[in-house]
Chain A
Amino acid sequence: MQDKVLTADEVVAGLSDGMTIGIGGWGSRRKPMALVRAILRSPLRDLTLVSYGGPDVGLLCAAGKLRKLVHGFVSLDSVPLDPHFRAARQRGELEVAEYDEGMVLAGLRAAAARLPFLPTRAGLGSDVMALNPGLRTVTSPYSDGEELVAMPALQLDVALVHLNRADRYGNAQYLGPDPYFDDLMCAAAQRSYVSCEAIVPTERLLENGPPQSLLLNRTHTDGVVETPNGAHFTSCAPDYGRDEAFQRHYAASAKPEAWEAFRAQFLDGDEQTYQKAVAAFHESAGSRG
């Protein structure tokens, strides 16, 4: 079987400018943040991001990596709005395709099934139609004749997701309460990369959780990255919760000068430097929030 273990930087080195990237997780939960940080360090640009958005969106906005965002919301959950996303939008810098959450789901399902679109009621009558002038409706060919939105497939060049455990071959497991849409993101993508808290031997995967926790099988996985604390500062239950103190610091640092300092302290080095800086942040702050 093919060994798919890579580093985060190797994953990112395989990406190209202008790609459409799907990022898993939801809000500020189980985001593949180590992979996002590797993108921040790279020269990649003009990306289109498809995301149930959290700080992945904010960080990529702050670094000027995005040309376009396809989303239904951007939130840090305990902090309702991401300040970098807001700032980028309010400066008019970021193109967006904004859909209902269920429309994003329909678009990913269509892509995963190699269908051009899937019908949905969501979006009818709302300004989502006007915001996305390419959107079309379709009339049911059956006797009901209902008019529905034809949500186009959201085809991804690459999916990036973070799970709790994986083996070297790309079988990956979530141990938290919610799979989010990571399996669908991977199925909708040409190539998928999974970062995880720990790589374990295949025969030990079921020591951690039941068979139904094995969310991804290796058909969908092109690379596996072991990156402990790799979802930080988002949550990765049950391995760790959201780092609320750090998230508040991130949000409070969004003004230009404070952001320079934040970037220098946390983001300019590699992942190891980041994790050390986070540990130092908590030591100086006293306790982890």
Chain B
Amino acid sequence: MITRAEVCAVACADTWQDAGAALASPFGTIPSIGARLARLTTAPDLLLTDGEAMLLAGTTALGEESSSPVEGWMPYGRVLDMLTGGRRRVMMGASQVDRYGNQNISRIGPWDRPKVQLIGVRGAPGNSVNHTTNYWVAKHSERVFVESVDLVSGIGHDRARQVGAKFHDVRVVVTDLAVLDFTGPDGSMRLRSVHPGVDVADVRSRTGFELAVDDVAETRLPTDEELALIRETIDPRNLRDQEVPA
């Protein structure tokens, strides 16, 4: 039986297909599985780190000590420099995201006295104006998919147009329900595919703004090879089920 987490992981893997020899920076369990899976299948040239400063030549299992050969050194300073040159791609989280892909991870509520202080803008402003940026949302809900985010950390398509951000490239949001892109009117969010067992109505009712909906596909299932890689090589401890319950 194929789980929802496995469908999500493959949807994330598909986002790295054309990345070439770029530094992959996935945040979260499912995006990390996706990046590793991509390297073992469609994107063999991706650079992956050990979560700290080492680039690993091998693809290690999640949550396990690496025995992989090291192929390079990527301390934070180099990451920040490399991202401005564009040879990096991220899949980040989003506490809030709006119809144009404006993302918030900084705080909820008033700026000066937030209702909920979150982590801060981190690298989102820089990522979203310098290289391909995709988002991962583990629990698709109206609290995340909002009409207007409380603070724009990563910039969306409307803001990018306003400031002429020539390297802005926010492509997709993968969630536990669906894959969304920004090919709707004026670069707005469009429902690209729903995961098996999910209705379009479910996604709409759990999205706090009107989605563009035309030809909605079903998100593809993992192949047997992909399933074996996820279950045996990449995530033998089933950490994926903690992020997206079966």
Known: A74-B119, A127-B152. A102 touches B84 (CB 8 A): yes
Chain B residues within an 8 Å CB radius of A105:
77, 80
Q: Decide: A126 and B53 in contact? CB cutoff 8 A.
A: no
Q: CA–CA, A52 to B77, complex, Å?
A: 12
Q: Decide: A178 and B53 in contact? CB cutoff 8 A.
A: yes
Q: Which of A52, A98, A124, A146 contacts B106 (CB 8 A)?
A: A98
Q: Which of A72, A85, A177 contacts B54 (CB 8 A)?
A: A177
Chain A residue nearest in CB terms to B73? A177
Chain B residue nearest in CB terms to A92? B113
Q: Which of B83, B118, B123, B159 contacts A72 (CB 8 A)?
A: B123
Q: Decide: A126 and B159 in contact? CB cutoff 8 A.
A: yes
A-contacting 9-mer, from B162-170, B179-187, B211-219, B230-238: B162-170
- Tell me the residues in window 45-103 of chain A with beta carbons closer than 8 Å to chain B beta carbons: 52-53, 71-75, 80-81, 85-86, 89-92, 98-103
Q: CA–CA, A147 to B160, complex, Å?
A: 12
Contact with A along B121-152 (1 / 0, CB 8 A): 11111101110000000000000000000011
Among the interface residues A53, A73, A127, which one has the most CB atoms of the partner chain B within 10 A?
A127
Chain A residues within an 8 Å CB radius of B167:
121
B153 CB-CB contact with A under 8 Å: yes
Q: Which of B83, B119, B128 contacts A73 (CB 8 A)?
A: B119
B68 CB-CB contact with A under 8 Å: no
Known: A126-B128, A147-B163. A101 touches B117 (CB 8 A): no
Q: Decide: B121 and A99 in contact? CB cutoff 8 A.
A: yes
Chain A residue nearest in CB terms to B106? A98
Among the interface residues B111, B120, B129, B164, which one has the most CB atoms of the partner chain A within 10 A?
B120
Q: Which of B107, B121, B155 contacts A89 (CB 8 A)?
A: B107
Shortest distance from the beta carbon of A244 to any chain B beta carbon, whole Å: 14
A214 CB-CB contact with B under 8 Å: no
- Tell me the residues in window 94-116 of chain B with beta carbons closer than 8 Å to chain A beta carbons: 106-107, 111-116
Chain A residue nearest in CB terms to B111? A131
Q: CA–CA, A99 to B120, complex, Å?
A: 8
A180 CB-CB contact with B under 8 Å: yes
Q: Decide: A179 and B124 in contact? CB cutoff 8 A.
A: no
Q: Decide: A178 and B76 in contact? CB cutoff 8 A.
A: yes
A181 CB-CB contact with B under 8 Å: yes
Chain A residue nearest in CB terms to B54? A177
Chain A residue nearest in CB terms to B149? A127
Q: Decide: A121 and B84 in contact? CB cutoff 8 A.
A: yes
Among the interface residues B106, B115, B121, which one has the most CB atoms of the partner chain A within 10 A?
B121
Q: Decide: A126 and B154 in contact? CB cutoff 8 A.
A: yes
Contact with B along A96-129 (1 / 0, CB 8 A): 0011111101000000000000001111111110
B69 CB-CB contact with A under 8 Å: no
How many A residues touch B, CB cutoff 8 Å? 40
Q: Decide: A126 and B117 in contact? CB cutoff 8 A.
A: no
Chain B residue nearest in CB terms to A181? B77
Chain A residues within an 8 Å CB radius of B128:
125-126
Q: Which of B52, B80, B114, B154 contacts A101 (CB 8 A)?
A: B80
Q: Decide: B151 and A127 in contact? CB cutoff 8 A.
A: yes
Q: Decide: B84 and A26 in contact? CB cutoff 8 A.
A: no
Chain A residues within an 8 Å CB radius of B111:
127, 131
Q: Which of A91, A98, A123, A180 contacts B120 (CB 8 A)?
A: A98
Q: Decide: B124 and A100 in contact? CB cutoff 8 A.
A: yes
B75 CB-CB contact with A under 8 Å: yes
Chain B residues within an 8 Å CB radius of A123:
125-126, 129
Q: Decide: A100 and B125 in contact? CB cutoff 8 A.
A: yes
Chain B residues within an 8 Å CB radius of A127:
106, 111, 151-153
Chain A residues within an 8 Å CB radius of B121:
72-73, 98-100, 126, 128
Q: Decide: B125 and A178 in contact? CB cutoff 8 A.
A: no
Q: Decide: B164 and A101 in contact? CB cutoff 8 A.
A: no
Shortest distance from the beta carbon of A239 to any chain B beta carbon, whole Å: 15
Q: CA–CA, A98 to B20, complex, Å?
A: 33
Q: Could you list which residues of chain B lie within 8 angstroms of chain A, going by C-beta atoms?
A: 52-54, 73, 75-77, 80, 83-84, 106-107, 111-126, 128-130, 151-155, 159-160, 162-168
Closest 10 CB pairs of A and B: A122-B126, A92-B113, A73-B120, A177-B53, A125-B159, A89-B117, A126-B125, A100-B125, A125-B155, A178-B75
Q: A126-B128, A180-B77 are in contact. List 7 more A-B contacts (CB 8 A).
A: A86-B116, A89-B107, A100-B126, A102-B123, A121-B84, A122-B126, A180-B76
